[in-house]
């Protein structure tokens, strides 16, 4: 039906337009109350909507990087646990060497030399077992790359090292010839060098772990800042929207009453009959 098929008085038409506008505002307010946002689409506020979208997307990308950083922490921690265990074994081996130097019994020295060889084998085992999810920083010169930002332009390379008996220059794992003091002293010196090497690499790993942890905390702060910024651009003030709903409902009731009053002029024609 065309709008021209029915003639309305000027007062009725004005009140009708006001009711229609109030109905639109009621729908908008209901949407804001249900979603909690005053900007639900680009139609509401293009500038705020797309700015909030960019902030939210960056926060999501950084959250993905956080997973990689958490995995890197575990990889470095696994390597550090391996270094701690290997250091403990070498210190135990040094004690065995001191015991060998304190005796001249060849049988005892052979037994102690065999124990040292067993420790070397265990060092090799720990070195190969210190990986996390397929990456071992103690079994080879593997490199762990940790990306910190969304486009991977900021990253850190954690370089591993060979921490088995060969990599630490402890010699082979065959039964050591500890029949002479010179051989025992030589192996003890190798153990001291190995411990020094482990300490140096521990310091490097600790420094890298500190960087990763700091970047984790920084990423948490950035994600919070971005999400808060996006919320500031889009979230609705629920108290204000609730007050708006009450006022619009009152306005709608008043508009309906006003429309009814506007129609009284036309109803007066009925009195002529």
Measured from the Cβ of residue 63, the count of other Cβ atoms closer than 10 Å reads 15
**Structure confidence at residue 42 (pLDDT):** 78
Domain harbouring 112, CATH code: 1.20.1330.10
Handedness of CA 37, 39, 42, 46 (dihedral sign): negative
CB 190 within 8 A of CB 170: yes
Torsion angle defined by CA atoms of residues 46, 61, 213 and 141, in that order, rounded to the nearest 10 degrees: -150
Identify the band that residue 11 occupies on the pLDDT scale cut at 50, 70 and 90. Answer: low
The structure tokens listed for 103 are 């005796």
Question: Domain range holding 114?
Answer: 60-233
In a domain, residue 259? The reply is no
In a domain, residue 47? The reply is no
In a domain, residue 138? The reply is yes
Measured from the Cβ of residue 107, the count of other Cβ atoms closer than 10 Å reads 8
**Structure confidence at residue 270 (pLDDT):** 55
In a domain, residue 258? The reply is no
**With 60 as the cut, is the pLDDT of residue 34 above it?**
yes
Residue ranges in 102-180 assigned as alpha helix (H): 106-129
**With 90 as the cut, is the pLDDT of residue 148 above it?**
yes
**Structure confidence at residue 55 (pLDDT):** 92
- Mean pLDDT over the full length of the chain: 85
Residues in the chain: 273
In a domain, residue 268? The reply is no
Identify the band that residue 193 occupies on the pLDDT scale cut at 50, 70 and 90. Answer: very high
Query: Look-up: residue for tokens 């077992």?
Result: 129
State how many domains the chain has. Answer: 1
In a domain, residue 145? The reply is yes
In a domain, residue 164? The reply is yes
pLDDT 10s digits, 230-272? 888 877 767 776 777 777 677 777 667 766 766 666 666 556 5
**Structure confidence at residue 1 (pLDDT):** 47
In a domain, residue 13? The reply is no
pLDDT 10s digits, 97-122? 999 999 999 999 999 999 999 999 99
**Structure confidence at residue 171 (pLDDT):** 75
pLDDT 10s digits, 75-100? 999 999 999 999 999 999 999 999 99
Identify the band that residue 158 occupies on the pLDDT scale cut at 50, 70 and 90. Answer: very high
């Amino acid at each position: 039906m065309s709008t021209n098929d029915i003639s309305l008085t000027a007062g009725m038409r004005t009140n009708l337009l006001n009711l229609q506008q109030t109905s639109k505002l009621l729908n908008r307010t209901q949407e804001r109350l249900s979603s909690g946002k005053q900007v639900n689409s680009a139609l509401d506020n293009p500038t705020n909507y797309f700015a909030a979208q960019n902030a939210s997307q960056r926060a999501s990308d950084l959250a993905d990087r956080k997973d990689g950083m958490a995995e890197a922490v575990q990889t470095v921690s696994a390597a550090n646990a391996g270094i701690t265990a290997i250091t403990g074994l070498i210190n135990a081996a040094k004690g065995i060497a001191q015991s060998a130097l304190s005796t001249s019994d060849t049988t005892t020295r052979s037994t102690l030399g065999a124990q040292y060889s067993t420790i070397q084998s265990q060092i090799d085992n720990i070195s190969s077992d210190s990986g996390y999810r397929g990456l071992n920083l103690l079994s080879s010169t593997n490199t762990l790359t940790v990306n910190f930002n969304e486009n991977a332009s900021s990253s850190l390379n954690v370089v591993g090292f060979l921490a088995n008996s060969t990599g630490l220059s402890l010699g082979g794992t065959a039964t050591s010839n500890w029949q002479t003091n010179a051989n025992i002293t030589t192996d003890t010196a190798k153990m001291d060098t190995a411990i020094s090497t482990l300490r140096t690499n521990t310091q490097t790993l600790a420094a890298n772990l500190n960087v990763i942890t700091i970047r984790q905390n920084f990423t948490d702060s950035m994600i919070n800042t971005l999400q808060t910024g996006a919320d500031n651009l889009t979230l609705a003030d629920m108290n204000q929207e609730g007050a708006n709903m009450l006022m619009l409902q009152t306005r709608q009731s008043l508009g309906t009453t006003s429309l009814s009053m506007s129609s009284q002029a036309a109803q007066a024609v009925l009195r002529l009959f």
